Amino acid sequence: MAEEERGQGWKALRLRGLRQRWIVNTTMPVLVLLVLIVVLFSAGVSSYYYDSMQKGLESRATTLADSFNSYFMNSYSEYTQMADQAVNSFEEKDRIELQFLNSGGRIHASTSRLTAGTSPETDDVARAMAGEDPAAFKGRDPETGENIMAVSVPLNFNGRVVGVMRMVTSLRAVNRQIMLADMVILVVAALCMALVIISNLLFINSVVEPVAVVTDAAKRISAGSYGFRIENHYTDEMGELVDNINDMSMKISQNEKMKSEFISSVSHELRTPLTAINGWGETILEDTSGDMVQLRRGIRIILNESRRLSTMVEELLEFSKMEDGRFTLRIEQVDLQAEFEDAIFTYRELFRQEGIELEYHCGDEELPLIPGDPERLKQVFCNVLDNAAKHGGTGKRISASICREGNFVTVRVRDYGPGIPEAELPFVKQKFYKGTSKARGSGIGLAVCDEIVNLHSGSFTIGNAEGGGAVVTIRLPILE
């Protein structure tokens, strides 16, 4: 119980880690992009507002200063009189402070009576005194500590700067507008980020939950629950993965079942001849009557059972070689018809003793030699003939033929027994598969035959013949 809970905990950690990695990897680029957009937007808005305000102040200050320089700088008294008049009649005094400074940098006239007589300590005044037209300043006022923007324009008399006209405005309203714009873009960015995170959470949850189901199913399969299936509610790649997991589970279940049947079958197949050999050996040993008929009968049974054991051991050895890649061929030029007729001759008498008639037909055309391994090919022919007798012997008849069909030599072996159930046809060449057949055998003979024929670049097919019975067709290529 503790191990199961610990396993569930590890799975939850893995899935939580998957969510975290997904969220971090997908949202970080978006977050960086949104921060960059917010910073650039804020800088752009600030620059736009400040530049517009500065250009407006410079335009007003330059226009008014040009009027003074052109018409009112004939004498100092005229200048001071017009400066006072301009301060008193300035219409935008609620937003902009208009100042006139003397050559010493002190304010002698201003729309704000509080600043008269003071000296602004911003660098725009000094630059205007030095002849810069216009000179602007943006920052904190050293006197009041307020954020301001100021534009200073020099006033000239006989080519010499005798004073400065200065316009000052507070940045409070502009900063409020900039802050409002920044708040709007921050809210929009936050909403975008929230949408990205929510959509990613919904998506990753739609992936993680099926992954958790598949992970749990894979653990159950690896623990031995072969044949376990996952309900497939998905139509995308996850659905394809679930189908593959289910298919894998079913195939493992089938293989496990075939392996169990194989072990049971081989155990039974080994025990039966060994029991017969052991029984008849004891009978012959204890028989003191000297009955030669009984003796010959016992020896014949011992030989037959020994031959069956040898065949079974050979099949197992061949299968072992096929599994680990040691299954090889010794290629030479082969008279396929001669090898097939040798197999026919070998089995005809054995079949006759069992009451089975073996018919053989060959074409009139002489068959060319083909490259192949004669021992392996004869093994295929013998296995197919023996199989026909075991599974179709009830028909008491087997027909075999060999002929040329185009660029292939075709061998057919047909029995007249009950045939193979249609549901079992796709599996009859699989290793260990015996289906519903009760005939003796390990279930690997046909798999070995299929491997040998494939190594010869041929085809090995099994089907049901018209009129009943099963037919095996072997096609081997003729290489001119």
The 3-class secondary structure across 375-423, one letter per residue, is HHHHHHHHHHHHHHHHHHHHHCEEEEEEEEECCEEEEEEEECCCCCCHH
- Output the pLDDT for position 1: 45
Q: What per-residue confidence (pLDDT) applies to 137?
A: 92
The answer for residues whose C-beta is within 8 angstroms of residue 420's C-beta and 6 or more apart is: 391, 428, 435, 462, 463, 464, 470
Query: What is the overall mean pLDDT for the chain?
Result: 81
**Could you tell me if residue 145 is left (phi over 0), alpha (psi between -120 and 50 degrees) or otherwise beta?**
left
Query: Could you tell me the pLDDT band of residue 351, with boundaries at 50, 70 and 90?
Result: confident
Return d(Cα 468, Cα 464) in angstroms, integer: 7
Averaged pLDDT, 292-302: 77
What confidence score (pLDDT) does residue 460 get? 92
| pLDDT tens digits along 81-97 | 888 888 888 888 888 88
Average pLDDT over residues 413-427: 84
| Superfamily of domain 332-477, CATH level 4 | Histidine kinase-like ATPase, C-terminal domain (3.30.565.10)
d(CA 385, CA 379): 10
Calpha distance 372→477 (Å, rounded): 10
Supply φ then ψ for residue 143, to 5 degrees.
-80, -50
Q: Are 217 and 228 in contact (CB under 8 A)?
A: yes
Minimal CA–CA distance to 107: which of 92, 122, 90, 89?
122
The helix or strand, by DSSP H or E, that contains position 244, with its residue range, turns out to be: helix 237-286
Task: Report the pLDDT value the prediction gives residue 441, as an integer from 0 to 100.
Answer: 53
Query: Can you give the pLDDT at residue 71?
Result: 76
What does the alpha-carbon distance between residue 15 and residue 42 come to, in Å, rounded to a whole number?
A: 39
Q: Give the per-residue pLDDT at 439.
A: 55
Cis peptide preceding 426, ω within 30 of 0? no
What is the CATH superfamily name and number for domain 15-175?
A: PAS domain (3.30.450.20)
Of the listed ranges 161-165, 289-293, 415-419, the least confidently predicted one is 289-293
What topology is assigned to 237-322 in CATH?
Answer: Helix Hairpins (1.10.287)
Which tens digit of pLDDT belongs to each residue from 182-210? 999 999 999 998 898 888 878 777 777 77
Residues paired with 160 in a beta bridge: 157
Whether pLDDT at 407 is above 80: yes
pLDDT: which is higher, 432 or 238: 238
With a CB cutoff of 8 Å and minimum separation 6, the contacts of 50 are 138, 149, 174
Residues 6+ away with beta carbon under 8 Å from 318: 327, 379, 444, 448
User: Is pLDDT at 372 greater than 50 in this prediction?
Assistant: yes
What pLDDT, in 10s, does the model give residues 240-273? 877 888 888 787 777 777 677 666 666 666 676 7
- Best-predicted range by mean pLDDT (23-37, 177-191, 221-235, 430-444): 177-191
Look at residue 188 in the predicted model and tell me its pLDDT: 92
pTM strictly above 0.75: no
Q: Give the pairing type, strands 357-362 and 397-405.
A: parallel
Q: What is the pLDDT of residue 433?
A: 63
- The terminus-to-terminus CA distance of the chain in angstroms comes to 69
Mean pLDDT of 408-422: 89
Q: Residue 263 is encoded by which pair of tokens? A: 């072990």
Q: Is the pLDDT of residue 131 over 60?
A: yes
What is the residue extent of each domain of the chain?
15-175, 237-322, 332-477
